Amino acid sequence: MASRSMFLRILWKLLGASRGRLAVALIALTSGAAVCSALLNVNLDAERKLTQEFRTLGANVVIAPPSSGSEAALTDAAVLDRISSVHLARIAATAPYLYVAANLGSQPVILAGTWFDQVSKMNSWWKLDGGAVTSREDREHCLVGVTAARQLGLSTGSPVQLRSGERNLSLTVAGIVTTGGAEDNQILTNLDSVQTFAGLAGRVSLVQLSVSGTPPEIVEVTRKVAESLPELDVRPVRQIAAAEGTILGKIRGMIFWTIALILVLSMLGVLASMAALAMERRRDVGLMKALGGTVPRIMRLFLAEAGALGAVGGLVGFLLGVVLARWIGERIFGVVISARFEVLPITILLTVGVALAGSFPLRLLGRVRPAEILRGE
């Protein structure tokens, strides 16, 4: 206990001496820790926000009957209950679709039935002119694709009288939607209405899923859904998954190499300060060895000093990094980056490691000969 108390007192004295050199080392460590903390916070939070943004770009998993050369292949709507029974928390939205051919006057049109409350979750980027249909129970209104509206002469509020054989369906246009996809050529309305109109109760053409998570997590969800629906074709939308994986990979790579460069630069700053400090402490080390201090004990003292500097620099750097991350998020990504406290221990460990690596010149003090110091050499 006495030796430990003495060790701590000497360590405190060392930290109080050579304040200029130690301050330079501490600034280098704090600066490096701040940048690393900011980038790690940006990486973790930006990844989460990026996956959320990708979920608004449409479905990334499609479930459909196996291709048989017929465009009219249908499956039982009970598949929706089987999907929900999988209980996968990463499924953010489930939208069934039923496509049927109909006529508006003498012009043919594709009528799509769906659940608008689910479609709105996965396609929030759709541009809508007019009112929205947000309830799956709304049987009176429809959305018309911009191309179909132009060809059929429809606008917001227009009545729509659809016919298929002896069946008729009356709707009112709630809005004109621009999607950049096949929906631009369709009329979209309530799924139940289309099933009744086409005489296809309990049938759907396909089901679209919006699955949150990274590309590997999406693949895992796809695998589990496919296992529960072996008779159907369950496949991810490769374009979205590939784009998401590419962007996330580039962000991770950029952040990794930036952090590595910052840590190397911080270590060089510490190395320069510690080299100058080693020259100043040759006399102190010589006196310690003359009084019976062993090299391992002296080295532990200096390494503890470097570790303490690293811990302080890591803690202060983390706090500064949180502020820097928020600034980066607002200026570059346009989002607020939240503080991720799991970054704190990582930042401190990295900074302590850099401090210990940069304290290499102090280890050379173990070669100091007490006789030469006492003779004034």
pLDDT at residue number 2:
46
pLDDT at residue number 293:
57
Per residue in 169-220, pLDDT (tens digit) is 999 999 999 988 888 999 999 999 999 999 898 899 999 888 876 677 777 8
**CA neighbor of 88 nearest in space, from 195, 179, 223:** 223
Beta-sheet pairing, 233-236 with 159-164: unpaired
Distances from the Cα of 79 to the Cαs of 38, 204, 219, 317, in angstroms? 45, 9, 20, 52
* More confident of the two residues 336 and 343: 343
Structural tokens at position 154: 């429809």
pTM: 0.58
Report whether 95 contacts 119 (CB < 8 A): yes
Per residue in 136-153, pLDDT (tens digit) is 888 889 999 999 999 999
Per residue in 3-46, pLDDT (tens digit) is 566 556 655 666 556 666 677 777 888 888 888 888 888 877 76
Per residue in 229-276, pLDDT (tens digit) is 888 888 877 655 556 666 667 777 788 888 888 888 888 877 777 766
For the chain, helix, strand, coil in percent to 5 are 60, 20, 25
So where are the chain's domains?
2-52+248-374, 60-236
- Alpha-helical segments (H) within 200-237: 215-228
